[in-house]
Amino acid sequence: MIKEFLAILLDKKSRVVVFVPPIIQVLVFGYAATFDLKNITYAVYNEDSSALSRELETGFKGSTHFQEVERIRRYDQIAPTIDRRDALLVLHIGPEFSRDLTTGRPAVVQVIVDGRNSNTALLALNYVKTVITAFNNDFAARNSITGPPARLETRAWFNPNLESRWFIVPGIVGLLLLVVTILVTALSVAREREQGTFDQLLVTPFRPVEILIGKALPGFIIGIAEATVIILITVFWFRVPLQGSVATLYAGVVLFLFSSVGVGLMISSLSVTQQQGLLGAFLFVVPAIILSGFTTPIANMPHLIRQITYLNPMRYFMIIIRGIFLEGTPFSMLLGQFWPLAAIGLFNMVLAGWMFRRRLY
């Protein structure tokens, strides 16, 4: 057991690899992984230079979400502007804009959006509509036009400003924990096997269970230490509110580590070389991240893939950690997420132990 630890801690490169990158990554990714659009670059093609169309433009200039980058003079300048990604969208105000408005006909503003990133395009369009709705309300009030028969008053629960960072950063905790623990455990046996020390270990009076525990503990303890650091960064640096209890959070972390160490050992027991171990780790980690709901909702996946996600420990941890952070979900309501983690961990541990024993004979 102690030997395992020393193997990782004594090698300076391994030590650096295990501890430094996760901390840097949580900082960089925490800032990078955002769906919030900050500077929507736009170009204006205003064929109607009237006070009204300028007022509409002011709405965009005043918004923190928009940033004007170009003024277009001719129609055929629109295409290259979008093609070259100089601007994400072009606002085209036609020559009849102010005449239509003052004569009571609906005036049309054409918005041309770069759809290469469909999510960005959709969100940018929503922001455009918000600005135009504000202009409409203002205009209607001034000209005593009766408003529409119903209006929407929208509020968001649990995350009033809809900051995607609150959603993503707790997810990164799970992401990094998974990567580090799987790597540490998946390669541990293979490395010894390549160096021949595993056979030596097997002839010592240790029982397979003891060897298994010895292999599992370092990954576990490194995981706990790392979880603590990353959670501290999440709470104190990114200021993501921690609504739930710390004890429940750690219960979730421990169970998640248990299951991912189990999977790591399972991979370890199957692989003969480190390359196979790494490949196995990879073939598990990558789908586990993608199919966890970390960036894209599980609800958007097709039925078959949604069924597969029930085998993924990270899926449960995502619900646990986001629930505890943002909603303050109590322990009792998370039991449905806790037991699959325990089951996955136990199943893999037992299987890995059995594989070790089988290799003995």
Partner 1 sequence: MTTLKGPEGSHARTAGGTGMRLRGLIRKEFLQVLRDPSSIAIAFLMPVLLLLLFGYGVSLDAEHVPVALVAEQPNADTESFAGAFRQSRYLSPVVMPGMREAVTAMDSRRVDAIIHMKQDFSRQMRSPDGAAVQVIVNGIDANNARLVQGYVEGVWSKWLQSEALAAGRPLDIPVQVEDRVWFNSELKSRNFIVPGLIAIIMTLIGALLTAMVMAREWERGTMEALMVTPVTIREVIIGKLIPYYILGMGGMALSVVMAVGLFGVPLKGSLWVLFLASSLFLLAALGMGMLISVVARNQFVAGQTAIIVTFLPAFILSGFIFDISSMPAPVQVVTHVVAARYFIAILQTLFLAGDVWAIILPNAAALILMAGFFLGLARKKSRKSLD
Using the minimum distance from each CB to partner 1, give the nearer residue, 74 or 142: 142
Amino acid at 202: L
Rounded Cα distance between 152 and 68, Å, is 29
List C-alpha distances in Å: 334 to 170, 230, 317, 339.
16, 22, 10, 9
Using the minimum distance from each CB to partner 1, give the nearer residue, 98 or 254: 98
Q: How near is the Cβ of 246 to partner 1 at its closest, in Å?
A: 20
Q: How near is the Cβ of 319 to partner 1 at its closest, in Å?
A: 8
Using the minimum distance from each CB to partner 1, give the nearer residue, 33 or 357: 33
Q: How near is the Cβ of 334 to partner 1 at its closest, in Å?
A: 12
Using the minimum distance from each CB to partner 1, give the nearer residue, 12 or 203: 12
Q: How near is the Cβ of 214 to partner 1 at its closest, in Å?
A: 17
Rounded Cα distance between 107 and 96, Å, is 8
Burial zone of 96 (CB within 10 Å; 0-12 exposed, 13-18 middle, 19+ buried)? middle
Q: Measuring CA to CA, which residue among 264, 248, 124, 77 is closest to residue 180?
A: 264
Q: How near is the Cβ of 203 to partner 1 at its closest, in Å?
A: 24
The residue written with tokens 């390549």 in the block is 194
Q: Show the tokens assigned to 297.
A: 């909702």
Give the HSE-up count for residue 323: Cα atoms under 13 Å, Cβ half-sphere: 19
Amino acid at 353: G
Q: How near is the Cβ of 311 to partner 1 at its closest, in Å?
A: 13
Using the minimum distance from each CB to partner 1, give the nearer residue, 152 or 203: 152
Q: Check: CB of residue 312 under 8 Å from CB of residue 340.
A: no
In angstroms, what is the C-alpha Rg of the chain? 28
Using the minimum distance from each CB to partner 1, give the nearer residue, 35 or 357: 35
Q: How near is the Cβ of 209 to partner 1 at its closest, in Å?
A: 25
Alpha helices in 235-311 (DSSP H): 246-270, 274-290, 303-308
Bridge-based pairing of strands 89-93 and 66-71 is unpaired
Using the minimum distance from each CB to partner 1, give the nearer residue, 24 or 203: 24
